Amino acid sequence: MNLKILVTAGDGIGPEVTNEAVAVLRDVAELGGHTIQIEEKRIGGVAIVKDGTPLPKETLDAALASDAVLLGAVGGNEFNSLAPDKRPEAGLLALRAALGGFANLRPCFSFKELVANSPLRPEIVEGTDIMFVRELLGGAYFGKPREYDKEKGVGYNTMIYTRDEVARVARVAFNLARNRRKKLTSVDKANVLEVSQLWRAVVTEVGKEFPDVELEHQYIDAMAMHIMNRPRDFDVVVTENLFGDILTDESGVITGSLGMLPSATIGGKVDLYEPVHGSAPDIAGKGLANPLGAILTGAMILRLTAKLETEAKAIQASVRKVLEQGFRTPDLARSNPQAFTVLSTKDMGAKVRETVKQLVAVSS
Ligand code: IPM
Ligand code: MG
């Protein structure tokens, strides 16, 4: 098959990690007799500097004309004083809105080789396998009215959902749960927020279509604690945009590094793929970034957009193998750097590619 991917590498470590992800994708595709066409466009801070806007029209047009978009990261300290609608992040939010994907899948999986890398005790994290489904186009991120009035000293946003927006993301989550361990946890703040009362009512209603899936509701504050205390108890977790943003960063504690976490956004015109981590300006350009989150994001492109399950699995297996062999980027070696072979971003990418080739050679 022929897959057209637009790469918007963005800021900070974005270019370094997407370079490795793309190299892995190219190799895997070639081994399987598929072709991948890569185009690159600017987004975020680099686009503000070069084009005067965080999402140039050229980037948006190219995104809409591709099968999938792979984003690196956006943001940088030099933009911190800008208003939200002028910042690098605004480019990503506009891209998400234009592509229309509303279900952001963020798997959080505890590799057994990384158990010691988590600040949590091994018996807590071992075996964790959660699929977060974060609603991505609603809530406070997009709700209107919104304003920061400096003179008056007042700022506000609107956390708003409609029945349809909740129902469609709930269906995605129930369907995923149906094919996993058949448990769905819906997270809200229905003891305080009206918008969460709607959320809970609609998720419950949709749940009637899925009698085989066990549904539980949790409040966001309690859930933030449960995820740290007993992450293994959760299978699929569905929640609104802002709560999902927070919970998925928190779940980085389970692997001990946000650098491991991939994500995919589906349900719109074009699927959007981005590692969960940010632009990490403090380590950008130093070869210290962990490309595995981006590489695993590449595996999600193959699984969900290209429907190449074997190839997706080969990438996942290679990541595991590389970890098994003791290779680490610095963020994964904190517990005991002497025990591992610590690699640069590029060398980690190369290791994964080398391993993918071996795996494919053995299986064919
Ligand atoms: C994420 C990020 C983004 C978000 C930012 C960069 C706009 O934190 O993807 O989790 O808040 O959605
Ligand atoms: Mg986030």
Q: What is the DSSP string of 172-240?
A: HHHHHHHTTTSEEEEEE-TTT-HHHHHHHHHHHHHHTT-TTSEEEEEEHHHHHHHHHH-GGG-SEEEE-
Q: Are residues 280 and 200 part of one domain?
A: no
Write the residue with the smallest CA distance to atom 9 of ligand 1.
276
Last residue of a domain, one of 233, 255, 277: 255
Q: Which amino acid is at 153?
A: G
Q: Report the DSSP beta bridge partners of residue 176.
A: none
Distance 132 CA to ligand 1 centre (A): 14
Distance 246 CA to ligand 2 centre (A): 6
- The active-site residue out of 221, 233, 286, 307 is 221
**Residues within 5 Å of ion ligand 2 by Cβ?**
245
Q: Are residues 237 and 178 part of one domain?
A: yes
Q: What is the CATH number of the domain that holds 194?
A: 3.40.718.10
Q: How many domains does the chain have?
A: 2
Q: Are residues 147 and 90 part of one domain?
A: no
Q: What is the pLDDT along the chain (364 residues), one digit of tens a residue?
A: 789 999 999 999 999 999 999 999 999 999 989 999 999 999 999 999 999 999 999 999 999 999 999 999 999 999 999 999 999 999 999 999 999 999 999 999 999 999 999 999 999 999 999 999 999 999 999 999 999 999 999 999 999 999 999 999 999 999 999 999 999 999 999 999 999 999 999 999 999 999 999 999 999 999 999 999 999 999 999 999 999 999 999 999 998 899 999 999 999 999 999 999 999 999 999 999 999 999 999 999 999 999 999 999 999 999 999 999 999 999 999 888 899 999 999 999 999 999 999 887 766 6
Q: Are residues 182 and 135 part of one domain?
A: yes
The answer to whether position 112 is within a domain reads no
Rounded CA-CA distance 249/241 in Å is 13
Whether 235 is catalytic is no
Q: Are residues 191 and 137 part of one domain?
A: yes
Q: Are residues 144 and 184 part of one domain?
A: yes
The answer to whether position 114 is within a domain reads no
Last residue of a domain, one of 200, 230, 255: 255
Q: Contact at 8 Å (CB) between 79 and 92?
A: no
Q: Are residues 193 and 241 part of one domain?
A: yes
Q: Are residues 195 and 283 part of one domain?
A: no
Distance 201 CA to ligand 1 centre (A): 27
The answer to whether position 233 is within a domain reads yes
Q: Are strands 103-109 and 68-73 parallel, antiparallel or unpaired?
A: unpaired
Q: Are residues 251 and 125 part of one domain?
A: yes
Cβ neighbours of residue 255 closer than 8 Å, sequence gap 6 or more: 108, 109, 110, 111, 114, 117, 118, 125, 261
Q: Contact at 8 Å (CB) between 283 and 261?
A: no
Largest CA distance in the chain: 68
Distance of CA 279 to the CA centre of its chain: 13
Q: Are residues 245 and 264 part of one domain?
A: no
Q: Contact at 8 Å (CB) between 329 and 337?
A: no
Q: Are residues 330 and 240 part of one domain?
A: no
Q: Contact at 8 Å (CB) between 314 and 308?
A: no
Q: Are strands 271-273 and 2-10 parallel, antiparallel or unpaired?
A: unpaired
The answer to whether position 32 is within a domain reads yes
Last residue of a domain, one of 255, 283, 305: 255
Whether 249 is catalytic is yes
The answer to whether position 113 is within a domain reads no
pLDDT for residue 364: 60
Whether 41 is catalytic is no
Q: Are residues 264 and 242 part of one domain?
A: no
Q: Are strands 147-149 and 214-219 parallel, antiparallel or unpaired?
A: unpaired
Rounded CA-CA distance 101/29 in Å is 25
* CA-249 nearest atom, ligand 1: 10
The answer to whether position 101 is within a domain reads yes
Q: Contact at 8 Å (CB) between 296 and 333?
A: no
Q: Contact at 8 Å (CB) between 278 and 77?
A: no
Whether 11 is catalytic is no
Range of the domain at 196: 119-255
